[in-house]
Amino acid sequence: MAVNLSQNRLVLLTAYQDVIDDTSDTDWALYTYEDDNNDLVLAGSGGGGLAEIALTFDSTRVMYGFCSLKEPNAALPRYILINWVGDDVPDARKCACASHVATIADFFQGVEVIVNASSLEDIDPSAIGQRLTNGTAAVASPVLGRLKTREEDHPDVGTVYEKTNAEVEMKKINREEFWEQAKREEEMRKEEEKKKAAEERRRFEEERMELERQEQENREKRYREREQQIEEHRKKMQEEEEARERLRSQTTIAAEPSIEDLNLDRKESEVEEAKAIIAQRSGNPREFFKLKERAMTISVDTSPVSIHRPGRLDSPFLRQQHSPTATPPLRGSSPLCTPPPRARTQPAATAGRYRGGAWTPPRPQN
The per-residue pLDDT for range 53-104, each reduced to its tens digit, is 888 998 899 999 999 888 777 677 888 999 999 888 888 888 888 888 888 9
Q: What is the CATH number of the domain that holds 6?
A: 3.40.20.10
User: Who wins on pLDDT, 18 or 357?
Assistant: 18
For 177-199, the pLDDT digits (tens) are 777 777 788 888 888 888 998 99
Strand, helix or coil for residue 306: coil
Residues written for the chain: 366
| Residue 6 domain-assigned (yes or no) | yes
For 108, phi then psi, to 5°, come to -90, 95
| Residue 86 domain-assigned (yes or no) | yes
Using CA atoms, how far residue 51 sits from 55, 123, 175, 233, 255, in Å, is 7, 9, 28, 89, 120
The chain-wide mean pLDDT, for the chain, equals 75
| Residue 18 domain-assigned (yes or no) | yes
With beta carbons less than 8 A apart as the criterion, state whether 59 and 94 touch. no
* CA atoms within 13 Å, Cβ hemisphere of 77: 20
With beta carbons less than 8 A apart as the criterion, state whether 12 and 31 touch. yes
**Measuring CA to CA, which residue among 79, 179, 82, 181 is closest to residue 139?**
79
With beta carbons less than 8 A apart as the criterion, state whether 281 and 343 touch. yes
With beta carbons less than 8 A apart as the criterion, state whether 97 and 62 touch. yes
Q: Cβ atoms within 10 A of the Cβ of 200, count?
A: 10
| Residue 122 domain-assigned (yes or no) | yes
Tell whether the model's pLDDT for residue 105 goes beyond 70: yes
Rg for the chain, CA atoms, rounded:
73
Q: Tell me how many domains the chain contains.
A: 1
With beta carbons less than 8 A apart as the criterion, state whether 55 and 82 touch. no
Taking the C-alpha atoms of residue 141 and residue 78, their distance in angstroms, rounded to an integer, is 11
| Residue 327 domain-assigned (yes or no) | no
Kindly report whether the global pTM for this prediction surpasses the value 0.85: no
Q: What is the distance of C-alpha 165 from the center of its chain?
A: 78
Q: Cβ atoms within 10 A of the Cβ of 269, count?
A: 10
Taking the C-alpha atoms of residue 192 and residue 190, their distance in angstroms, rounded to an integer, is 5
| Distance spanning both ends of the chain, measured CA to CA | 132
**pLDDT > 90: what percent of the chain?**
17
| Residue 209 domain-assigned (yes or no) | no
For 273-303, the pLDDT digits (tens) are 777 777 766 666 677 777 778 778 776 555 5
Domain hosting 136: range is: 1-140
Q: Cβ atoms within 10 A of the Cβ of 122, count?
A: 16
At CA 95, angle to CA 140 and CA 55, rounded to 5?
Answer: 65
